[in-house]
Structure formats: C-alpha cells, structure tokens
Amino acid sequence: KMSAVFLLLLVSTANIGAMLEKGLPRREPRRLSCVRCCGPSEQPVSIISSRYIRMSSDPAYSVPKVQPTIDITILKGEKGEMGEKGYPGAVGKEGERGLRGFNGRKGQKGQPGPQGHSCKQLYAAFSVGRRKPLHSSDYFQHVTFDTEFVNLYKHFNMFSGKFFCYVAGIYYFSLNVHTWNFKETYLHLMKNEKEVAILYAQPSDRSIMQSQSLMLDLQEGEEVWVRMFKRERENAIYSEESDVYIIFNGHLIKPAVE
C-alpha cells in the first residue's frame, strides 16, 4: 500500500513538471555585452573606469561643473596713498542764467554827508584850439591843445587835454578840424575810455574843414577828450602857427540839480 502511494506521487510530480515545461516560456541566458577597454598599444582600463566613462558621456549621468568663487574682501589690501592732482579739464559751456534771487534786507541808514558849498557855480564852458599839425604815429594817439580861448573855472585841463566834469548835467560838445591833402582824417570823441562819436574824412587832393557835435549827459568826475585812430592809411590833421584850424568846444546846457 505504501509503495502504491509513493508511485502515485511520483507520477503526478512528473506530469506537473511536463505541464510546466510546455506552458511557461524558456528564458534565455543573459549575454554580457563586450566593451572595448584598450588597444594593442594601450593600457587596460578597469571595469570601473569604463563604466565611469559611459556614465559621464550620458546626459542623465553628467557630473555638474564646480566653479569655485573667491571672496575678494579677503584678498583686499590696505588703502593706497592719494595720487597727484591731474590737469584741469576743458572749460564747459556756459550754463543758462539762473532765477533772480530774493531781495536782501534793507540796510541801515548811512551817516550824513559833508555840507555842500553854497557858492558853487552851476556853470561850465570851454573853447580850446591847436596851432600845430598832428600826424598819428600810434594806433591810438591823444590830441592835446595849446591855445585857450575860454576855460571857465579851469574845468578843461590844458596839460592832459581832457575836460573834467565838476557839475553834473547835460553838455554840448563840438569838434572842428582841417583835413590834410591825400591823408585820412579819423578821430574819436571820447567819454572816459569809450568812444561816443567819430569824425572822419577820406583822403582827397583838396583839404576841407570837417566838424562833429553831440550832447552828453555827464556825471560828476567823468571826462571828455579827443583821440586819433590810425588804420592802414596815414592819419593826420592840419594846422599852422599863424592860424587855428583845430578847435574843441563844450558847455553846460542844464545842470542836474538846480
């Protein structure tokens, strides 16, 4: 009886193995791929190195690049000495005019001035002439006078050839000259250091009398005089000892304070 049972188990086990062999697919043995590690003249490469090469070429296994950073503050040295001052730069364009500032505070009342002269004469007049001819040798040449016709209160200085204003007001001035043949005549009537009128005559084969006149508003201390202005041509005015051809006149028309 025992032998029959054992035989039955052996047969059933054989049938189950046959069924398993028919029903399940057979798995082929895994083949290892060959990897070239070296050539005839190269050194053999280890399996680990070959695997590292294959992994590093694959984007999925790429190793990130490490970029070291340096803290500059650690390497910063001590502050150096100040260098020499450089040359000044070019002058820039002139800026726009700014807004008008606020009015300043009113100042204190000044001290009273000296007492005026009760006998001061509110008159001024002069008339002077020149008997000698004059050639302009400089670019600007002062004209002086040697003959005094009228010089009220000596307001005209014969030595400097200038009228000095002692009484402020409106003045009338006139200048008369005689031109020289074939020479230019060019003169300025001056107020302080600025020309205010011109007397001019072109060169000609005939000499003529030439005049200029004007009125000026003068302040006390201002001066009026005559000068010659030389250009490319020869500049001259004519006169002679026996007669007067050059005359300078001036007088006060209306004083500023009456």
Let me know the angle formed at the C-alpha of 30 by 26 and 34, rounded to the nearest 5 degrees.
Answer: 155
- Asked if pLDDT for residue 41 goes beyond 70, the answer is no
Domains and CATH numbers, the chain: 125-255 (2.60.120.40)
| 139 band by pLDDT with thresholds 50, 70 and 90 | confident
Residues 82-121: pLDDT tens digits?
Answer: 888 887 777 777 778 788 888 888 777 766 655 555 556 6
How far is residue 148's CA from residue 135's CA, in Å, rounded to a whole number? 22
| 183 band by pLDDT with thresholds 50, 70 and 90 | confident
pTM of the model: 0.53
H-run or E-run covering 74: helix 72-75
How far is residue 30's CA from residue 13's CA, in Å, rounded to a whole number? 29
Residues 54-89: pLDDT tens digits?
Answer: 555 555 555 566 677 766 666 667 788 888 888 777
Question: What is the residue type of 68?
Answer: P
Q: How far is CA 152 from CA 26, 128, 145, 166, in A?
A: 151, 11, 16, 11
- Asked if pLDDT for residue 5 goes beyond 70, the answer is no
Whether the CB-CB separation of 146 and 193 falls below 8 Å is answered with: no
Closest Cα partner for 132 from 209, 225, 229, 246?
Answer: 246
The mean pLDDT value for 136-151 works out to 88
- Asked if pLDDT for residue 40 goes beyond 60, the answer is no
Mean of the per-residue pLDDT values of the chain: 77
Whether the CB-CB separation of 147 and 180 falls below 8 Å is answered with: no
**127 three-state secondary structure:** strand
- Asked if pLDDT for residue 234 goes beyond 90, the answer is no
- Asked if pLDDT for residue 12 goes beyond 70, the answer is no
Whether the CB-CB separation of 210 and 186 falls below 8 Å is answered with: no
- Asked if pLDDT for residue 238 goes beyond 80, the answer is yes
- Asked if pLDDT for residue 251 goes beyond 60, the answer is yes
Q: What is the pLDDT of residue 26?
A: 55
Residues 193-206: pLDDT tens digits?
Answer: 999 999 988 888 88
